[in-house]
Amino acid sequence: MKTITRSLVFGCSMLALAGCGAEEIASPGTGGNVIINNPTPTPTPPPTPTGGTVTAANGCPTIADAQGLTDEGTIQGPTGTYRVCAMPARFNTSSTLPYIAGLLYRMPGRVDVGTDGGPAPDASDGLSDTNVTLTIDPGAMVYASGSAFLMVNRGNKINAVGTASRPIVFTSRDNVLGLNNDNSSGQWGGIVLGGRAPVTDCIAPGATPGSVNCERQVEGAAQPAIFGGATPGDDSGDLAFVQIRYSGFVLSGDNELQSLTTGGTGTGTTFNNIMSFNSSDDGVEFFGGYVNAKGLVVVGAEDDSIDTDTGVKANLQYVVAVQRDGVGDTIIEADSSNAFNDSTPRQNTQISNATFILRRTGDQAVRIRGGADYAIVNSVLVDGSNGTACVRIDDAQTIQGANAGLDELGAPRFNSFVMDCATPFRNGSNGGATAAQAKTIFDAGSNNNDALTNTLTMTFINGANENAVAFFNPAGLSNFFENAGFIGAAQNATRFQGWTCDSAAVSFGSNVGACTSLPVY
């Protein structure tokens, strides 16, 4: 098995998208809200059957919502023939989409789960919860194209919980038809979870960040989708053993969604074993609220792999983020607030047991700014481009001292974090840390090494040098974390096998197979 080493990337590289800021859930620099109420695209006739082993189901199942599913006939691809069952534009009644062999569910456009219940969990805001839960069973597959996306509104839930051997797959029509390769992306919208936990950068002038009056807008005015409130324990449902492939459709101008977007999700929401593959924007983006996830894989994102913003409190463990050759921006981009860097709640993202592989020559691999609090422990970062600085810390508020009144924990924290980078640090901007100051912050932690020679195999599995690094007990950061007893995402492939898919960027040895093909059970 090969050792990951630095190498120059030759050939054509894609224009890097700028980091997504706090103005809206979209690519940055748009200066406005994302308009995603595009007309439902007219389905293109399927191509000539191409064989395969799957036989189409006889019909669509009956669901609890009276609108039902629409039988759109069959679609053929390399893996066989499938019955296509289109979802309603909005689920008004809690419903289950069962796994049925030879059946695919299609999102015909924006699909809402329930109707927005407002920022308060009661009717004090003039809105009542519709309490709709969309359940998707293990092994079920959902596809979409164009601007279609799934919106879980406040006061409603998603229950998409697959298994290690039968993940739930959200993907594109081209993936079904076998038209994709390892560089395909941007073929549908993605998944958006709205909640009513605290956020910053309120859309209402004069609203207090973190209060019930502080909300943010996912999209434009025609059918606005709003998130935020003052309910930390809010519950938007459960996502586990889920793949989200080929997402990030361009909605208008530079506006795109990413595989998974959260806005103000609360601590009642759970995230475990989620894979983002080839998003044309960020792999995942978390706006405000709380995100606690064990098992997060981001492969081939064309902007940032992990983007966090507007006061989110996130704990992430067992993380693999791998770029495609010459494609992507940063591995990590963090802002707390786009309006005022000392707005509260202040972002505090903490990551333990991660392996990050950068493969694009750019400005930096990790950018922490906007007054965000951040911790990276028990992790490995490799610059495979041999031309990109690993860590940049911007803005004076990001390196200021701890201050309880400002919800401030101090400068970024690093423990048992090792980097294989030709240039470990670069100067920050706006009063942030110089390269020398960033190194001082880094060296203040325990068991850090900014000059490791990595011995990773299979791209993400520890070798001798990684296993020789003393680990840090992350329980001191949060009781969410397990003390894994090692650094990096994994000492073997078992943790990520089954629920992931394989590509040229990274292979997990998954029974599900290649990301370019649908799994066949």
CATH of the domain at 185: 2.160.20
Closest CA relative to residue 113, chosen from 193, 189, 186, 217: 193
Note the pLDDT of residue 220.
35
- Report yes or no on 99 lying in a domain: no
Instruction: Return the pLDDT at 510.
Output: 72
In the chain, the N- to C-terminal Cα span, in Å, equals: 29
8 Å CB contact between 390 and 423 = yes
Q: Say which amino acid occupies 68.
A: G
Let me know if residue 444 belongs to a domain: yes
* Domain encompassing residue 319: 109-201+224-496
* Rounded Cα–Cα distance for residues 378 and 517 (Å): 34
Report the candidate in 472, 470, 490, 392 with the shortest Cα–Cα distance to residue 432.
Answer: 392
Residue the block writes with tokens 């894609």: 14
Greatest distance between any 2 Cα atoms in the chain: 66
Q: Do the beta carbons of residue 301 and residue 323 sit within 8 Å?
A: yes
User: How much is the pTM?
Assistant: 0.91
Are residues 202 and 106 in contact, defined by beta-carbon separation less than 8 angstroms?
A: no
Name the domain count of the chain. 1
Does any domain span residue 58? Answer: no
User: What does the pLDDT read at residue 221?
Assistant: 32
374-417: pLDDT as tens digits: 999 999 999 999 889 999 999 999 999 999 999 999 999 999 99
Q: Which residues of the chain have pLDDT under 50?
A: 1-50, 220-222
pLDDT at residue 14, as a whole number: 35
Residues counted in the chain: 521
Res 509: pLDDT: 86
Give me 53's structure tokens: 């082993």
Q: How far apart are CA 439 and CA 421, in angstroms?
A: 13
Query: Looking at the domain assignment, is residue 33 inside a domain?
Result: no
The whole-number pLDDT of residue 236 equals 98
53 falls within a domain: no
In a domain, 127, yes or no: yes
How many C-beta neighbours within 10 Å does residue 492 have?
12
- The beta-strand segments (E) located in 121-254 are 133-136, 141-144, 149-152, 157-161, 168-172, 190-194, 216-217, 226-227, 237-245, 250-252
- The answer to whether the bond into 46 is cis (omega within 30° of 0) is no
Instruction: Give domain status of residue 355, yes or no.
Output: yes
Residue 513 lies in a domain: no
